[in-house]
Amino acid sequence: MRKRTAGLACTLALACAMVAGCARVTSGLAVPADHDGPRPVAASLLPDLLLDAATISDIMGAPGMRVKDSRSRMFDAGRQFPDRSCMAAWMPAEQSVYADADWTSTISQSLSESSLDHFVVQAVTVFANRDDAQSFFDATARHWTPCGERTFATSKDGYSDTPWTFDTVADIDSTLWMTQHQDDSAGWSCQRALRVSNNVAIDVLACKLYVSDEGVTIANGIDARLPSV
């Protein structure tokens, strides 16, 4: 803590630290407190928000993960998943999920290592303001919740149907997350995580054998990179 100095300005500054909503003191002039929080994140900053491959590797416990795909458009996985009402819980940055949301720009990366034993999608999408972003989160949460504790079968051209079971959906500390288990595998699972911070939606999928909290950890790491002013 700075050493206190005598004077009216110091007294007012100390009072402001203890009373919520107090004016900020600058050069002896009272300035209204800022209740609006940090400025909206600009679309130009989106590439700087994603975690680098080395950090993703550390979180996933998989040395050598690399970016396999980078895009500034949404995914279109609708043909792989049978229940459109639960598409939001299945895939990050899915165009049908964001279709009615007022987003302005997006960027996503898919990462894996050569053995394909670990797989991550990290995506960030910017909205015009925080209210639009929060409205998207609230609407998406309503779609996620009924999808927990259900089984689905995904399909892909040339492959047989793959059964998945979704765990209960959790909404903790402003983060929506769930675990997906591939039923015909020996422990392959994915964690989905969605968080909105300021005017940015952070959308993550992290897959490995016996996934734990890797998806939420990646979302937290991206959130920590958002500007605070």
What is the pLDDT at residue 36?
A: 62
What is the pLDDT at residue 159?
A: 66
Q: Where in the chain does DSSP place strands (E)?
A: 24-26, 29-31, 66-71, 103-112, 119-127, 150-156, 159-166, 170-172, 175-182, 188-197, 200-209
Q: What is the pTM of this model?
A: 0.82
What is the pLDDT at residue 158?
A: 57
What is the pLDDT at residue 161?
A: 86
pLDDT in tens, 161-178: 899 999 999 998 889 999
Domains of the chain (ranges; CATH) run 1-35 (no CATH), 43-224 (3.40.1000.70)
Q: How confident is the model at residue 80 (pLDDT cuts 50, 70, 90)?
A: confident
Task: Encode 81-132 in three state secondary structure.
Answer: CCCHHHHHHHCCCEHHHHCCCCEEEEEEEEEECCCCCCEEEEEEEEECCHHH
pLDDT in tens, 173-194: 889 999 999 999 999 999 999 9
Mean pLDDT of the chain: 85
Q: Taking residues 136-165, what's their average pLDDT?
A: 89
Which tokens is 86 given? 């639960």
What is the pLDDT at residue 78?
A: 78
Q: How far is CA 12 from CA 21, 35, 133, 152, 228, in A?
A: 13, 19, 36, 60, 25
Q: 53 with 113: CB under 8 angstroms? A: no
- Residues with Cβ within 8 Å of residue 79, at least 6 apart in sequence: 155
Q: Taking residues 18-30, what's their average pLDDT?
A: 34
Bridge partners of 119, per DSSP, are 112, 207
Between 16 and 205, the more confident residue is: 205
Percentage of the chain modeled with pLDDT above 90: 71
